[in-house]
A and B are shown apart, each in its own frame.
Chain A
Amino acid sequence: MDKVNKINTDFLISREKNIYEVIIGLEVHAQVTSNSKLFSSSSAKFGAEPNTQVSLVDAAFPGMLPVINEFCVKQAIKTGIGLKAQINKRSVFDRKNYFYADLPQGYQISQFKHPIVGEGTVVLDMPNGQKEVGIERLHLEQDAGKSIHDIDPQHTMVDLNRSGVALMEIVSKPDLRSPDEVNVYIKKLRSIMRYLGTCDGNMQEGSLRADVNVSVRIKGTDKLGTRCEIKNVNSIKFMQMAINYEANRQVDLIEEGKSIAQETRLFDTKKNETRSMRSKEDAHDYRYFPDPDLLPLEVSDDFVEKIKSEIPELPDEKKKRFIEKFKLSPYEATILVSDIETSKYFEEVVENSDVKLATNWITGELFAVLNSKNLEISESPISSKNLSKLINLIKDGTISGKIAKTIFELMMDSDKDPQKIVEEKGLKQESDPKALEALIDKVIVDNPDKVKEYKSGKEKLFGFFVGQAMKDSNGKANPQLLNDILKKKL
């Protein structure tokens, strides 16, 4: 097996004489969050019965004409602003012509020469620092329908619900260098679009998929190698596996003195390999030309300015603010802003409680619970209000951290007010020095031998006394106070 070195975030492939680096560019297809389709009024909702969300336009009936959905245009511009990209005031819809059973018009309406969004940037937070990835463009296009081959052995079934749904194709520059960067890039894109409400980023439902362009070159050289495009990969894990396989395949070819053919490949998730789909020679001639049914799309400055005014605080800005305002570490801030719902939850909690404790409880206990139950933070069994109460109970000494964990467990069942749990279960921390002295006196009296040993130098036994006193208090003794008093007494 070939050795794969990991130097920083670079993904290098070493062979006897050469070390190769991998050049990756992504074409991400993100479904626009919108009630209706790009050029028709039918619903764009996922999961409906087949062919129940199909208008005459979507099914390309004779004489039917596309009419642009203004909301989708807004969403694309919003996303463009989120990618710090150039917004093109004039863009053109073209027809991409090809025949397929799930493409009713015989062409896909897409933007070829004049996309709505031009160059932009996405910042990745890598373990060893930040990295900028260039965005080449973002354009709007229609999705095709879905061909289903496994219902009937003789026939292919076609579901047109997806036909005409608006997609944003976000094309990166070939700036990515490793599967790890691809992972962070996709997550960052998804995070930005979720903040903006322009794409839900749900990969299971196909709202986010990508074509992955991979090439390799000897590290230190400038010239890009011949690339292969791996079509339609629908999970980050598969993207990473496909890149790993494909990069090694290309390196093998070069090492054997063979050349790499520019082609489109498919990733077989079962066999974990990429396979040739069609060569450059067999590539479709899409015969792009401006769609004569649609005039060029022109947006005014006011239109764009209005959208700009609606842009919420985005992850990068939020992270900066969190670091400054809450004194979080960059690592903590990155985690807390990665998802807009998490950041909202965090801000709700810290509004009324301690930041340090809130950060630890959210990234620790709460994330662990959500992960184990496979829940989104918006579905959290514990509300931000009650978590902040719990933190306040710790902070003011009403309960110990240990008791807090017990209460946290109890809160999960019914999102119960922690104050009430404390009262009902009598879990309030014992912080009365007199009561604690009584406890300690009892422990001292009961264990004269141990006291003797301790006094003769066996200081390790201190823990024993603490444990005994704690046990006698049913775990409710204030540990700090207990320590202090015990030291004095001994």
Chain B
Amino acid sequence: MTEITSQSLTELIKNIKEKKISSEEITKSFVVRSEKSKSLNSYITEDFSSALKKAKIFDAKPNFDLKLPGIPIAVKDLFCTNGLKTTAGSKILNNFVPTYESTVTQNIWNEGAILLGKLNCDEFAMGSSNETSFFGNVQNPIDKDLVPGGSSGGSASALAANLTPITIGTDTGGSIRQPASFTGTVGLKPTYGSCSRYGIVAFASSLDQAGPMSKNVKDCALLQEVISTYDIKDSTSIDFKRKNYFKELTKNIKGKKIGIPKEYRVDGMPNIIEELWTNGIEYAKNCGAEIVDISLPHTGYALPAYYIVAPAEASSNLARYDGVKYGFRSKGENLIDMYEKTRSEGFGDEVQRRIMIGTYVLSSGYYDAYYLKAQKVRKLIKNDFDEAYKKVDAILTPSTPSSAFKIGEKTNDPVSMYLNDIFTVPVNLSGLPAISIPAGVDAKGYPLGLQIIGKAFDEQNILNIAYAMEEKINFKNKITDWWIK
């Protein structure tokens, strides 16, 4: 049998159901490996002893009808977990212990999974490299001093390093797909409204969406099936018929029309990305898909529109962190002074930058020129997709314009950092589902991902395409365990 921590979710479930291994053995293996991997800094809060206890309880009275029987899982620290510190990667929530559970994590526990701990992320999910976290950088297990991407950097790192068999992240502008691409893993951003936002620390409410991250497409489908539920506690949750994504997964994508948008061939895109995309098109063809050239004319406006809408919502969503009710509070002479000190000491630079941008674009006199215009652009971008989907079933693009970069390489250049999201943000602005699958490596051997964008509520279709292409691509992540001495 393969080493426990290298097994995929579906393998683990098979083995636990066949009683070849116990939940305790599995949990212990991930705990031991996580203990040895502290230098990756993937975790913010570990909950190992509690996880081991829960595993024992599961083994004493196992229920194998559940979808995630006795499976230990670490989750992004943006999901509120009852009784366990939830920081959103920020100093301002460094002491915050929720008394409630997010719907998405509750769904996971309801299916028998066990919480291992809370994973590092960019502060309030604002970042593309996990460098904005108050709890420090996360190492990409692919290579030393390489960022894992962001904002779900801790999740991607822990997953690629086999510290958790699967994980969940959140994706506001690419925060699941980009780190998945950087770490050679699979990440799905579901349709907006598919997964409840209840109990997830909000960044930009109209864009935020939780989603699964895994080592393969099958695991991804299973986890999506578990986390996607209609929830009356989230007014933007959508009551649509959810498929049994795992059960209905098929590699038969014969005749599926896959669109290739010319606007994604951006200036200065490295040859290696061009090559990756071309290969991806071949793989899709080999799977029996039909390739169709399409146009998404407003793509170029997506990034600026995103960097208006997201900060605008964030500036308001983060107003509640004021030192009055919970979280970090700095001493002040009076209320205003307390606010100013609390928020300038409690928030990091990137968060403050976005709050300022957001406050500016919503200000009277600028609202029409920025926020309103960005919302109009957003509509145009959505219309582009609607038009394209009259002709195709899915769209294939690269996930990111480059492979993972070095820690510190882009920290002083926010705009270059924002450019990381160029292929991912149009999807969030349109509320569509998209999956990133590993599809190759660059010259340095760093993974690169391909993105498959679907129609709204059509997760099954992009999972099927990903599943079919995954087999043809046959990507193997090279993790050398360099961080384990």
Does A457 touch B at the CB level, under 8 Å?
A: no
Interface residues of A in 46-72 (CB under 8 A from B): 56, 59-68
A65-B235, A289-B316 known; A101-B324 Cβ under 8 A = yes
Does B417 touch A at the CB level, under 8 Å?
A: no
Assess the B364–A106 pair: CB atoms within 8 A. Answer: no
Assess the A59–B371 pair: CB atoms within 8 A. Answer: no
Number of A positions contacting B (CB below 8 A) = 31
Q: Considering only CB atoms, which chain B residue lies closest to A66 in the complex?
A: B235
Assess the B324–A104 pair: CB atoms within 8 A. Answer: yes
B355 to chain A, nearest CB (A): 11
Q: Which residues from chain B contact A100 at a C-beta distance below 8 Å?
A: 335
Assess the A62–B88 pair: CB atoms within 8 A. Answer: yes
Assess the A99–B339 pair: CB atoms within 8 A. Answer: yes
C-alpha gap A95/B206 in the complex (Å): 14
Assess the A106–B316 pair: CB atoms within 8 A. Answer: yes
Does B197 touch A at the CB level, under 8 Å?
A: yes
C-alpha gap A67/B232 in the complex (Å): 8
Interface residues of A in 392-418 (CB under 8 A from B): none
Interface residue SS majority, chain B: loop
Encode B352-379 as 1/0 by CB contact (under 8 A) with A.
0000000100111001000100000000
Encode B82-99 as 1/0 by CB contact (under 8 A) with A.
000010100001001011
A63-B102, A292-B313 known; A106-B235 Cβ under 8 A = no
Q: Which residues from chain B contact A288 at a C-beta distance below 8 Å?
A: 362, 367
Does A16 touch B at the CB level, under 8 Å?
A: no
Interface residues of B in 239-265 (CB under 8 A from A): none
C-alpha gap A311/B71 in the complex (Å): 57
Assess the A285–B363 pair: CB atoms within 8 A. Answer: yes
A61-B100, A289-B371 known; A295-B201 Cβ under 8 A = no
Encode B157-199 as 1/0 by CB contact (under 8 A) with A.
0000000000000000000000000000000000000000111
Assess the B80–A62 pair: CB atoms within 8 A. Answer: yes
C-alpha gap A95/B312 in the complex (Å): 11
C-alpha gap A291/B313 in the complex (Å): 9
C-alpha gap A66/B235 in the complex (Å): 7
Interface residues of B in 101-141 (CB under 8 A from A): 102
Assess the A63–B201 pair: CB atoms within 8 A. Answer: yes
B362 to chain A, nearest CB (A): 4
Does A97 touch B at the CB level, under 8 Å?
A: yes
Q: Considering only CB atoms, which chain A residue lies closest to B206 in the complex?
A: A292
Assess the A104–B235 pair: CB atoms within 8 A. Answer: no
Encode B311-323 as 1/0 by CB contact (under 8 A) with A.
0110110111010
Nearest 6 interchain pairs by C-beta: A106-B319, A292-B205, A287-B362, A292-B206, A60-B320, A63-B199
Other 14 A-B pairs with CB < 8 A, given A61-B326, A101-B324, A101-B335: A56-B99, A60-B325, A61-B98, A62-B320, A63-B201, A65-B235, A95-B316, A99-B339, A106-B319, A158-B324, A287-B316, A292-B206, A294-B235, A295-B236
A-B contact pairs, 24 of them (CB 8 A): A62-B88, A62-B201, A63-B100, A65-B234, A66-B235, A95-B316, A99-B322, A99-B336, A101-B324, A104-B320, A104-B324, A104-B325, A106-B316, A106-B319, A156-B335, A287-B364, A287-B367, A288-B367, A289-B367, A292-B206, A292-B236, A293-B205, A293-B236, A294-B235
